[in-house]
Structure 1
Amino acid sequence: MNLSSLVTFLSAILPTTLNATSSNETLTLEHHTQIIHDEARHRDIPVTLYFPNTSNCNKNAPCKVAIFGAGYGMANTDYTFLAKQLNQQGVLMVSIAHELANDPPLSREQPFVKTRNENWQRGAQTVLFVRQALKSQYPEYNFDAVTLMGHSNGGDISALLANQGHSFIDAVITYDHRRVPLPRTKDIKILSVRASDYPADDKVLPTQAEQLQFNSCVVSIANARHNDMADHGPQWLKQQMSLVTAEFLHGKSCKELDVLLNNHNINQ
């Protein structure tokens, strides 16, 4: 089946999600970049907010929030395809620039669980600070039920924070993070979307038995490369990442997500 036929087929069986995904390239993102100053840490934190395409967000019915962390060496603005998809689901995406010019470089020496811990802890503190600052600034968004998201090292930061037991974390979505174990809990909805070229470290991902026990989900995208999971990546990969993200947010089961990716591979 060629790409055109497959898109037509998927449009018929998944009209809402696929149409949103395939059309979002033409959408104009409503976004705002600001600096949030953390006085205690003498840190100026750049954040970019991507606002949903709705005027229905208000204090009495606040819209959903996702806080995103980029991969190391990537800009926090390099994931607009995910921002567009989230916005179409009525979700505010807050993308944090974790790495500042005077920060120490990410360690390349093992064991990463020790040598990179400072980076992850700093990132987790930044997420907590940004969330609290924006909560008072944007009361029309629900910062008490946040989806943590991140690619690569940004996913490691999200996983570390999710293991700390904060009540405001509703879900975690990571894109090929490789170092920090995901929580084993039923209290947080968990999805990890995997590329194909690098394995995760031991015990980072829940086993099949753990996925069933805790209702978490790990899915893989065939032929996907770790470093391509951003705006510069191929269109087919961005479409699959957007699709599985949207369906997860819609409450699809892990089995349904896995079948979706395995049966409807649009990599051409």
Structure 2
Amino acid sequence: MSTKSAALFDANRDRQIPLELYFPAQQHRCTRESPCSVAFLSQGYGLRHTDYSFIANALAASGYLVVAIQHDLPSDPAISKTGDLVANRTPMWRRGIENLRFVRDSLSRTYIGFDWPGLVLIGHSNGGDLSALAVQESPALAATLVTLDNRRYPLPRTPAVKVLSIRGSDFPADAGVLPTVEEAVAGTCIATIAGSRHNDMNDHGPTDLQSEINTLLLSFLEDGRCGA
């Protein structure tokens, strides 16, 4: 496996988008005729896009091209923490969605040996919220959504997109974020890790939690299994 630090420039928005790319070990086997999988990682607010290498490395070892995207820049307004959080944070999420689309459109022209229609979106906390909104608005953007304890924006309720949400144990999600028993749809998995903390779901958290997250993630991506 190898990694590459890069940045894309979206001229229409005058915006730099820092990236970290994690390549599969057998990248030469990724061809247009036999494409390899691709996943985008969106970081939690206040964290760096490189703070999820435990996920990126596990996916790259499983044959994925992983693109970690830095959505928040020092020049951006601070995240809203009061009032209607969904309404107040939607402009930030839409900025992230534009990043996702721009990165996908740009890299798909360069890395042709990958399954871009089967894109997997993975996001922690605020990164999970923006990814959920992206899939809700544009189901064709990705085939699978994985969130790590997103708490504000509702998960999609559609069988058109496979959904895994790995939940921490210290903070509840807002009302309506998680599907009820009546709303549950095929291909959606909600998995809570006992004793886990929202702020630990990154490289700075305990290694046993990282291992549990990767086990749930890889099991779901490989065969749709809900749980280890």
Distance 1:31 1:59 in 2: 22
Partner of 2:204: 232
- Please say if 1:188 is aligned against 2:161: yes
Task: Report how far residue 202 of structure 1 moved.
Answer: 0.6
| Alpha-carbon distance in structure 1 between the residues aligned to 2:168 and 2:110 | 36
Q: Which residue matches 2:92?
A: 119
| In structure 1, distance between residues paired with 2:140 and 2:17 | 23
Post-superposition shift, 1:165? 2.6
Aligned: 1:93 with 2:48: no
Counterpart secondary structure, 2:57: helix
- Residue matched to 1:200: 173
Which 5+ residue runs of structure 2 have no aligned equivalent? none
Measured in 2, the distance between the counterparts of 1:239 and 1:246 equals: 11
CA offsets, 1:66-98, max 9 Å, x none? 011000000000011101111122111111000
Write out per-residue CA displacement over residues 14-65 of structure 1, whole angstroms, 9 at most, x where no aligned residue: xxxxxxxxxxxxxxx5111111000000001101111112131112111111
Equivalence map 1:25-64=2 (5 Å): 29-54=1-26, 55-64=28-37
Judging by fraction of residues, say which structure has more helix.
1
Matches within 5 A, 1:131-170: 131-170=104-143
Distance in 2 between the 1:41 and 1:162 partners? Answer: 22
Determine the structure 1 residue equivalent to 2:52: 79
Contact 1:67 1:147 in 2 (8 A): yes
Does the 8 A contact of 1:70 with 1:150 survive in 2? yes
Instruction: Give the TM-score taking structure 1 as reference length.
Output: 0.82
CA contact (8 A) 2:145 2:164 kept: yes
Q: What is the DSSP-based 3-state SS (H/G/I as helix, E as strand, rest coil) of the residue aligned with 1:187?
A: coil
Deviation at 1:137, TM superposition (A): 1.1
Structure 1 residues 140-179: Cα deviation after superposition (integer angstroms, max 9, x where no partner): 1121210011000000111010101341411000000100
Identical positions, percent: 41
Alpha-carbon separation, structure 1, partners of 2:187 and 2:116:
23
TM-score by length of 2: 0.96
Q: Does 1:217 align with 2:185?
A: no
Structure 2 match to 1:130: 103
Q: Which has the larger radius of gyration?
A: 1
Distance in 1, Cα, partners of 2:224 & 2:90: 33
RMSD, matched Cα: 1.1
What residue ranges of structure 1 are gaps of 5+ in the alignment? Answer: 1-28, 261-268
Residues matched between the structures, number: 227
